Every structure is written in structure tokens, then in C-alpha cells.
A and B are shown apart, each in its own frame.
Chain A
Amino acid sequence: MSSPKVEIIENYCKGCSICVEFCPTNVFKMEGFVAKVVRPEACTKCMLCELRCPDFAVKVH
């Protein structure tokens, strides 16, 4: 299995912090009003961020 790729579509992200707060392995961090992927290697592919982002801005491949 290839390592997960977590992507944020920055012009869809509205900076609500839901992905940052609820990722069990702290993959994201807020930078200003946009979420950034800072620890992609920690991702367990639980998919919660993609499911809960209200703005279609997170994709986990």
C-alpha cells in the first residue's frame, strides 16, 4: 500500500479548523485562515477529515 496523500484545496478552505481539531494524529495545522498539511506521514487514512470538512477542501488519496 502506498503512503497516504492528504491534500487541501486552498481556495475552497474557509479555515473552520474542524480538520485540525479532530484529526486523531495531528496531520494539520492552521496557518492564518487556511489549514495546512504538516505531518502527512502520520495519517492513518481514517478519512474523518475528508468526511467532516464542510467545504470539500480535504482529499485523502
Chain B
Amino acid sequence: MAFDYEQYLRPGKLPHIWCPGCGHGIVMKGLLRAIDTCGLEKNNTAIVSGIGCASRLPGYVDFNTLHTAHGRAAAFATGIKMAKPEMDVLVVGGDGDGVAIGGNHFIHACRRNIDMTYVLLNNYIYGMTGGQFSPCTPTWAKASTTPYGNPDPIFDVPKLAIGAGATFVARTTAFHATQIDKLIAAGLRHKGMAVIEVLDDCPTAYGRRNKFRSVVDMMKRLKEIAVPVKAAAHMTPEQLEGKVLTGILHQEERPEYCEQYQQVIARAQGA
């Protein structure tokens, strides 16, 4: 049966603005299926973004949505969750938004273990502004600002999130469409900061500069590099060269920030 996406989309918004083959649309669909699986109420759900192509996502979906300042989505989302802890709060945004300009807000949301679900669409580039390198642009890949190749090492987003204290961390790719909704749903059910990185394609600002002939080539690459964590346990370091691990990479229980804050309120009231 065809999934009814229209029930969650604002009317009259399609076709969306993303380029032909841009993976952001695939991730948006996965996000809506996950929301449907978990039965979230539209009026009790907030979806927050910063700025970028990925950050346009909330404009299409019929929930409480906030399109905020570049890199600041996690901070706005923290405010919403603190004021209304009963709400389901999601953040969506790109690699530039989340771990370049927004890296500070991102790590502190992880550290606090505030109960939200952060979907980071990593297309390895600043798509919206024409292809400047981000902290996720692979070493020696080309960006408009690294015409001789990018000398920087990357941020591994899941490792960054785990190191900073997120209690649910997962990764998949835009090719692995069914895994997108499964992992986001698992993140939504998790109490605490859940980070789901989706490796994504930007044919316009990244693909063309980096010798991908087509969107299909970029999808095939996502398929090739992904190795499920369980399979990786039986592989040698040589076999894992150039691969990325997918699935749930980390999950633990730790006090959640809004609940901790309730104790502050109780203490202040002399309980």
C-alpha cells in the first residue's frame, strides 16, 4: 500500500525546491513514516531547523515548526523542550548547520542528554550556498573553497555525538530508505538525546565537483560504503577501509535533562 504522506504535508507545497535527486526528499519521507509509526500527535510535535537546504524541511510538514538561525536549531529546540517537556521535539538540519556553525549547540545538547531527536542530513557540503567545504567534506574532496582538494580531516558525526554524551546514536544513508524510518523511530522512542546521521547526496554542489556522473552514481556509492555494525564485527580492518558503519551505534541510559531540571525546581521550592 502506498504510504499517505499527504496527511503530514502542508497543502500545495509540492513539488519541493530541492534539486533533482537531492536526498533530502528521501529523508523527509523517512521522517514522516517514523512519526507515523510512533503515532506522534501533530499538535504535540515540534520540528526545528536552522538554515540550509536540509533546514528547509520543516516548511513542508504540518506540525509546529520553527525555521530559526543558522546553527542554532538545537538551542531553540532546547528552549521548547524546557518550556514544554511533554512535547516531542525533533531537530533536522545539515552538516554545515549542525557541526560547523552549530557545532557548539550540538555538543551541548548531547552533553545535557535532553530528550529530543536530531536528524542530521550529511551531504558532505554546504549545499545551499554553492558548495563550500564543511567539517564533513572528505579529505581531498573538492569544494568551491578547496579547489586543490580539502586538506582537513572530517568530523565523524556519530563519534562526536557519542563523545559529547548523546545516549542514542545511529547512522544510515539516503539509499537505505527503510532504515531511515526504523532508526528515527528508535530515536523517537529513546528517552534522551538521540542523534541519527543520514549520509545524503548533493548532486549539485558536491557530486558534480567530485566526479560523480549522476545521482545514481552517488546512490551507488552510499550503498557500497555502508556496512551494518553487526557485519562489521566479522570484518578485518582492511575490509573496513573506506566503509562507514550503519545501524544503532550507541545506546545507554543516563538522567534526562528536563527531569534533572525538575529537581532544581523542587529544590528551589524547598522540597
Contacts and interface: CB of A to CB of B under 8 A. Distances in A.
Question: Does A pair with B?
Answer: yes
Interface of A: 11-12, 14-18, 21-22, 48, 50-56, 59-61
B63 to A, nearest CB: 17
Contacts, number: 59
Contacts of B24: 54
A54 B175 contact: no
Given A14-B20, A48-B177, A50-B3, A56 B219 contact: no
Contacts of B2: 50, 59-61
B15 A12 contact: yes
B15 A14 contact: yes
Please report whether the interface of chain B is mostly helix, strand, loop or mixed according to DSSP: loop
Contacts of A56: 5, 9, 14, 16, 25, 29
9 contacts: A14-B19, A15-B20, A16-B215, A21-B216, A22-B219, A51-B178, A54-B26, A55-B14, A55-B16
Interface of B: 1-3, 5, 9, 14-16, 18-26, 29, 175, 177-178, 214-216, 219
A22 B21 CA distance: 13
A52 B20 contact: no
Nearest to A21: B216
Contact of B215 (A11, A18, A50, A61): A18
A54 B201 CA distance: 11
B219 A54 contact: no
Nearest to A22: B219
A54 B3 contact: no
Contacts of A54: 18, 21-26
B13 to A, nearest CB: 10
In the complex, the 6 A-B pairs of residues with the closest C-beta atoms, listed nearest first: A54-B25, A16-B21, A14-B20, A51-B177, A59-B2, A21-B216
